[in-house]
Amino acid sequence: MGLFSRLFSEFVDVIEWTDDSSNTMVYRFERYGNEIKYGAKLIVREAQFAVFVNEGEVADVLGPGTYELETKNLPILTTLQNWHHGFQSPFKAEVYFCNARRFTDLKWGTKQPLMLRDSEFGGLRIRAFGTYGVRITDALMFIREIVGTEGVFTTDEISAQLRNLITSRFATIIGSANIPVLDMAANYDQLGEFLTTRIAPEFGEYGLELTRILVENISLPPMVSEALDKRTSMGMTGNLDRYLKYQTGASMEAAAQNPGGGASDGIGMGIGLAMANRMNDSLQAGGSQATPPPIPNTSPVVFHLVADGAAQGPYSVDLMKEQAASGNLTPDTLVWSPHMSEWQAAGGVDALNGIWTKPSATPPPIPSS
């Protein structure tokens, strides 16, 4: 650099930074030899912090506003006052601008599937991803802990660490939450809020504020998703018989509209399979109706009767007729058989009704020729 160029740079005494990027978090103002002129103007805009470092030590952290650098703890000698040092001022200073706006749409996600125990499906592997937002709240801590002496620091340089931190905590939280996998979609907001509350203190150790975590999706492996889709389809089908009737009718209508189309064979095959299944069900139903009834109980019916205050028997129906003929059995005599629950009058028992009925002695009329 020539003498006049260096002298001209000494009169450029406005220190400021306007960010044209969307991911720059910290920017170090570049000045030749880190020399800052006494009385220079430092402009800190809204959503910015300025960390002033004098001879390797932090002199101050400045918020939004315009500052004149002329206090005693800042450089007070310019290169024009130090000819004997060859225009190299012994007082060196640096200004780091920290972007305090909110950085949004930062991505996080699981690199490998997470294992968890589900109450309905047992062991499952899931993946999850989403976005999160951060902003710098403690500029001095952020520079000390993360940035160091880098001239430009972007979100790309810290996003991997923050992503790993979120993923690790997400695995712990989702594993202990005992939320059924089918109910997780209804709890994305609650999971995001709980993650934000749980992880925010760890972000604070870097001088950052975790503004929000969003859980966008929790997915199952492809094979498990296919099995779940089949199960859902079966549930939506409902009454299989009505579904087959509907499908058969729809297929016949399509075949009638396109009799010469190539789809007719496939439609006919589908109809045939449906009808075969229906016929098989009908045959099975008919076979069940042809099953013979149980074999009746053919053991002879026997009775006991009460005579002279004591039970007598057992007697078959024929013997009961003899008892009736001898006068030992009348319609008022109490009788009992194993198929009766209690003693009853003989006249009220159907099996004994014909014992006292005498056959008619009058023949019927002779039919006319």
Q: 126 and 207, same structural domain? A: yes
Q: 115 and 90, same structural domain? A: no
Q: 174 and 109, same structural domain? A: yes
pLDDT of residue 236: 59
Q: 161 and 130, same structural domain? A: yes
Flag whether 287 is in a domain.
no
- Residue finishing a domain among 220, 239, 260: 220
CA atoms within 13 A on the CB side of 246: 7
Flag whether 367 is in a domain.
no
Measured distance CA(19)–CA(48) in Å, rounded: 10
Q: 76 and 62, same structural domain? A: yes
Q: 35 and 92, same structural domain? A: yes
The secondary structure of residue 145, as a DSSP letter, is I
Task: Please report where in the chains the tokens 């296919």 appear, as a residue.
Answer: 226
pLDDT of residue 103: 94
- Residue finishing a domain among 99, 131, 151: 99
Phi, psi of 125 (to 5 degrees): -115, 130
pLDDT of residue 107: 94
Flag whether 13 is in a domain.
yes
Give Cα separations from 2 to 6, 8, 90, 145, 187 (angstroms).
6, 10, 20, 38, 66
Q: The domain spanning residue 334 has which CATH number?
A: 3.30.1490
pLDDT of residue 22: 87
Flag whether 237 is in a domain.
no
Measured distance CA(199)–CA(321) in Å, rounded: 100
* Bridge partners of residue 217, in order along the sequence: 129
Give Cα separations from 161 to 128, 140, 157, 326 (angstroms).
17, 19, 8, 113
pLDDT of residue 238: 59
Flag whether 362 is in a domain.
no
pLDDT of residue 43: 92
pLDDT of residue 278: 60
Q: The domain spanning residue 137 has which CATH number?
A: 3.30.479.30
Measured distance CA(165)–CA(126) in Å, rounded: 18
Q: 121 and 167, same structural domain? A: yes
pLDDT of residue 196: 92
Average pLDDT per consecutive 10 residues, the chain (369 residues; last block may be shorter): 48 78 90 69 91 82 84 39 40 84 92 84 87 94 90 92 90 83 86 90 93 91 78 64 68 70 55 60 56 65 82 83 84 85 83 69 71
Q: 177 and 73, same structural domain? A: no
Measured distance CA(7)–CA(39) in Å, rounded: 16
**Centroid of chain to Cα 28:** 46
Q: Which residues of 162-175 are buried (b: 16+ CB within 10 A; e: fewer)?
A: bbebbbebbbeebe
Flag whether 215 is in a domain.
yes
Q: For the residues of 307-353, what is the DSSP string, one character each?
A: ETTEEEEEEEHHHHHHHHHTTS--TTSEEE-TT-SS-EEGGG-GGGG
E strand residue ranges, the chain: 14-15, 24-28, 40-44, 48-54, 57-62, 65-69, 93-99, 103-109, 114-118, 122-136, 152-154, 208-219, 302-307, 310-316, 334-336, 344-345
Residue 187's domain comprises 103-220
The tally of domains found in the chain comes to 3
Beta carbons of 67 and 52 less than 8 angstroms apart: no
Length of the chain: 369
Nearest partner of 144 among 77, 65, 208, 101, judged by Cα: 208
Q: 175 and 91, same structural domain? A: no
Work out the angle at residue 294's Cα, subtended by the Cα atoms of residues 292 and 295, and round it to the nearest 5 degrees: 105
pLDDT of residue 298: 58
Q: Specify the DSSP element, H or E, that contains 257.
A: helix 240-257
